[in-house]
């Protein structure tokens, strides 16, 4: 893990790792992800809300030419829709049956370079 921690971002990863994911919401219901001081859409105050347990894959790709942090891998990355927010992350299993619309569960992954980031597992594989 990078040092020092990055408040908000690492807090969310810790929460995803313990199945207590959350997102931020303003009174108007605009969802966003930490760290945020205000709602990016309306500038209003934010509160933490429970992230739905699964999201639906909106799009995905397998990156054949990765950055140095992923040397030796061809990470499958996807964007999943959780309703109020979408999350981008690396698929950790089931890439052969992945399709748009697949249900995924958020978790935490690590790059070969050691950085933590958002990961996903297929809900059907759990």
Binding stretches for other proteins (CB under 8 A)? 6, 9, 32-33, 40, 58-71, 73, 75, 77-79, 85-90, 100, 109, 111, 115-118
Given strand 47-50, what is the order of strands in its sheet? Answer: 31-32, 22-25, 47-50
Nearer to other proteins by Cβ, of 84 and 123: the residue is 84
**In degrees, to the nearest 5, what angle opens at C-alpha 107 toward C-alphas 15 and 105?**
115
Considering the complex, state which of residue 47 and residue 64 has its C-beta at the smaller distance from other proteins. 64
- Nearest distance from C-beta of residue 103 to other proteins, angstroms: 16
Q: Which stretch of DSSP H or E encloses residue 16? A: helix 9-17
Cβ-based nearer residue to other proteins, 53 or 63: 63
Q: Residue 8, class by beta-carbon neighbours within 10 Å (0-12 exposed, 13-18 middle, 19+ buried)?
A: middle
Q: Which is nearer to other proteins, 46 or 87 (CB)?
A: 87
Shortest Å distance, C-beta 52 to other proteins: 15
Please check whether residue 73 is in contact with residue 66, taking contact to mean a CB–CB distance below 8 angstroms: yes
* Minimum separation from the CB atom of position 14 to other proteins (A): 14
């Amino acid at each position: 893990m990078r040092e020092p921690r990055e408040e908000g971002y690492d807090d969310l990863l810790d929460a995803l790792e313990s199945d207590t994911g959350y997102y931020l919401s303003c009174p108007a219901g605009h969802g966003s992800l930490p760290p945020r001081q205000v709602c990016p859409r309306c500038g209003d105050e934010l509160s933490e809300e429970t992230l739905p347990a699964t999201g639906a894959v909106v799009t995905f790709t397998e990156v054949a030419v990765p950055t140095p942090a992923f040397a030796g891998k061809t990470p499958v990355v996807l964007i999943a829709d959780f309703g109020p927010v979408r999350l981008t992350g690396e698929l950790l299993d089931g890439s052969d049956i992945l399709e748009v619309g697949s249900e995924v569960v958020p978790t935490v992954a690590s790059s070969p370079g050691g950085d933590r980031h958002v990961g996903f597992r297929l809900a059907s594989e759990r």
